A and B are shown apart, each in its own frame.
Chain A
């Protein structure tokens, strides 16, 4: 037996080759025995998660059985499509680029979104950019504060706390983006007799950082059990282009650039990974704190926040509730 290693970032290091082998075997098995589909459709955002998911799919079933979809819209970051293109070229898969802005326009998204922001910031309109931010759990004394941050065309920034109605309306409208993308993924999956691969990592899956029936919908989720740092590790092993591996995680959802840790997670992903791992494995907060360079009280706060998010997003994982069991349907 090897002596126990001290708890550190190295604790999350996995045997990439073995892990890739295991995931690929499971993908093949799932497609063949459960899903009964011939390949996989994957939405490519130019981010690390979708790139690794696509690379795993290619490794598991070959490039001819993987179809990539790039689905930018007018708020997507400029670099998004060049990054997703580099992944498509690297993997040698067939793909299609569909600008979803006209669909969102037709459904009324841009108008609904602007109207919702105007409830909080009356001057908001054409040429403005915005995003939602959440207060740091280390700063607020009680409940998290949600705010909308808007930038006027001349660069002035306005921040307003969001009351219930504009908050719900902004989120509801924004969810059209993820759901529109999923609708297109399933169109292509049905057309090709493929299944859809979802791309959440463990942080996102555990903490409910996805849209129900949007990016949360999929037939299989190859990296949902992996911490984000482990996804980066697989990215390196799988030869994902360096520019994709170097891109800071972004939601790429709002017109103003938004880091995942200012909207949802209480810490940047490396620290968040280690906190979640420590909590899942019963590591004492003082040991986690030492490994990250925070105070034990802060780790306890993060752990509390993890529990809160699990509780409040349980609804996202739930299947439709039946009023009575239907025993003939076994899943």
Chain B
């Protein structure tokens, strides 16, 4: 789980913050902090689908699954367990 967390966090920091991670916590809301917009969420989905070989369904496109590092890790955990 912690390896997955590091992987997701590294992707977010590298892709959206140009490597500067100051202030990013696992609970930081991407949308509220203005870090990631709606197109950015599409990027996150593409990354998750490719990297973790999962399919994100329409009804899973909710902030509870995707709006922070912590939420993504929790969501991935559920998806992996179901796979």
Partner-B contacts on A (CB < 8 A): 140-146, 161-165, 167-168, 308, 311-312
Contacts and interface: CB of A to CB of B under 8 A. Distances in A.
A143 B61 contact: yes
Chain B CB within 10 A, most for which of A163, A164, A167, A311: A164
B21 interface: no
Contact of A312 (B38, B65, B66): B38
A143 B62 contact: yes
B62 A312 contact: no
B62 A142 contact: yes
B58 A312 contact: no
Interface residues of B toward A: which range? 10 to 19
Interface in B1-53: 31, 34, 37-39, 41-43, 45-46, 49
Q: Give 4 closest A-B pairs by Cβ, nearest first.
A: A142-B62, A164-B42, A312-B37, A164-B46
A308 B58 contact: no
A264 to B, nearest CB: 12
A167 B42 contact: yes
A143 B63 contact: yes
B38 A144 contact: yes
What is the interface of chain B mostly: helix, strand, loop, or mixed?
Answer: helix
B72 to A, nearest CB: 13
Interface string B53-81: 00000110111111000000000000000
B45 A164 contact: yes
Contacts of B42: 146, 162-164, 167
Contact of B41 (A140, A143, A168, A311): A143
A140 B61 contact: yes
A95 to B, nearest CB: 37
Contacts of A162: 42
Given A164-B46, A165-B46, A311-B34, A145 B41 contact: no
A304 B58 CA distance: 21
B64 A142 contact: yes
A143 to B, nearest CB: 5
12 contacts: A141-B59, A142-B61, A142-B63, A142-B66, A143-B41, A143-B62, A163-B49, A164-B42, A164-B46, A167-B39, A308-B38, A311-B37
